[in-house]
């Protein structure tokens, strides 16, 4: 709407300039003392129109310096052209500049507001009145005709400025309404997504946590049973991971894994975490599938555990070594997740991996599918450095 208003103002000024002012200038060219002065003033005003049109075509706002220069040049052109007229020709056909100078103010001061436009139009009238007094005081009848002409011309210019102000207000209100509607739609979409996430989490908990709590409440499950305690620790770690999914973290996979590690540490387990490779975007459902076996192994750890996150070569690997080999590790439910478990020397290795990128033909980023559990075990055992990155 604002762009259309600017285009409309430019069209009105061009119509007045070429449709009214130019014929008036050419029809009285022989009557001017110095015709070249009138032509120069007309050329300067034409240049202002052309430059403003180019700015509009480029989609640029009018710079303040350009607005000031355009107004000053248009007013100077009017003063110079008017100075060549005798007093009885003011506001008549030979006085072609009075027809359009106010329109320059309407156009160039569109972004400045109505008051600035009214001030420019009034300034132009006052300057013209001063030049009229210097050229010679006209008769009462001629002065009345000049006043009527000035009133008619300025009324159209002021009416256009007022209309532009009203339409600009409508455009501003429409923009504010559109932004408010977009905000409401965004909040509704976010609320719906949060609600869906909450229901999804509740369904996940309802399949595992609620039966466990029910069994503890009705006495069918013994809190002193080691298997029951392991189930409780595992479900506590899963709940902490679900809570961590709502946090804003730069590395969601590592953040959610640390939430499960925190549960094991509160049970007295010394957990070391090693991280290799930069963070890679992994969808939430795949992060759950990667951390689920590791959390199950951590829930059964007795004294120590070593967790490792390795990212590189188009793969993400999450593994843990614990001191409790007798553990039931849940099978991954997501396609593409590969699970490896190794029991050896009273320890348990659990590794979940997922391929993010297709294997490179050159072999530079080829996933290490040929690794055996033993090589992964050795890599885990030889990596004791704890890295936060």
What is the reported pLDDT for 321? Answer: 92
Upper half-sphere CA count for residue 281 (Cβ side, 13 Å): 0
Question: What stretch of H or E contains 343?
Answer: strand 338-344
Mean pLDDT by 10 residues, the chain (389 residues): 79 90 88 88 92 84 87 91 83 86 88 86 90 80 84 88 83 88 92 81 73 80 78 79 78 87 86 88 85 86 90 88 80 85 86 72 42 39 34
Please list the residues that pair with 311 across neighbouring strands.
316
pTM for the model stands at: 0.49
| Rounded Cα gap, residues 121 and 321, in angstroms | 84
Question: What separation in angstroms does the CA of 145 have from each of 136, 139, 227?
Answer: 16, 10, 107
């Amino acid at each position: 709407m604002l762009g259309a208003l600017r285009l409309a103002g430019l069209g009105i000024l061009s119509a007045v300039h070429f449709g009214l002012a130019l014929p008036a200038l050419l029809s009285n060219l022989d009557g001017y003392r110095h015709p070249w002065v009138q032509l120069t003033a007309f050329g300067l005003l034409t240049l202002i129109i052309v430059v403003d049109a180019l700015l509009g075509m480029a989609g640029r706002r009018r710079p303040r310096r350009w607005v000031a220069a355009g107004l000053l040049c248009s007013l100077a052109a009017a003063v110079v052209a008017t100075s060549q007229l005798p007093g009885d020709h003011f506001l008549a056909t030979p006085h072609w500049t009075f027809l359009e100078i106010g329109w320059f103010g309407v156009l160039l001061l569109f972004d400045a507001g109505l008051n600035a436009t009214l001030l420019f139009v009034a300034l132009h009238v006052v300057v013209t009145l001063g030049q009229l007094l210097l050229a010679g005081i006209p008769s009462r009848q001629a002065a009345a005709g000049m006043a009527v002409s000035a009133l008619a011309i300025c009324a159209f210019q002021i009416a256009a400025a007022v209309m532009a102000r009203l339409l600009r207000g409508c455009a501003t209100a429409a923009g504010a309404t559109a932004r408010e509607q977009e905000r409401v739609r965004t909040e509704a979409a976010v609320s719906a997504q949060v609600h869906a996430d909450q229901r999804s989490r509740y369904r996940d908990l309802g399949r595992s946590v609620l039966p466990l709590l029910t069994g503890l409440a009705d006495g069918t499950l013994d809190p002193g049973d080691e298997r029951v305690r392991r189930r409780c620790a595992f479900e506590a770690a899963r709940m902490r991971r679900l809570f961590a999914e709502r946090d804003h973290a730069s590395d969601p996979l590592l953040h959610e894994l640390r939430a499960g590690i925190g549960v094991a540490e509160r049970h007295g387990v010394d957990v070391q975490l090693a991280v290799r490779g930069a963070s890679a975007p992994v969808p939430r459902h795949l992060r759950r599938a990667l951390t689920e076996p590791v959390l199950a192994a951590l829930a059964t750890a007795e004294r120590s555990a070593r967790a490792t996150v390795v990212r590189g070569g188009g793969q993400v690997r999450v593994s843990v070594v614990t001191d409790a080999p007798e553990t039931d590790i849940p099978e991954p439910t997501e396609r593409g997740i590969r699970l490896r478990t190794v029991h050896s020397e009273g320890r348990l290795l659990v590794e979940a991996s997922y391929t993010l990128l297709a294997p490179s033909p050159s072999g530079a980023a080829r996933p290490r599918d040929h690794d055996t559990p033993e090589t992964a075990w050795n890599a885990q055992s030889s990596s004791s450095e704890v890295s936060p990155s």
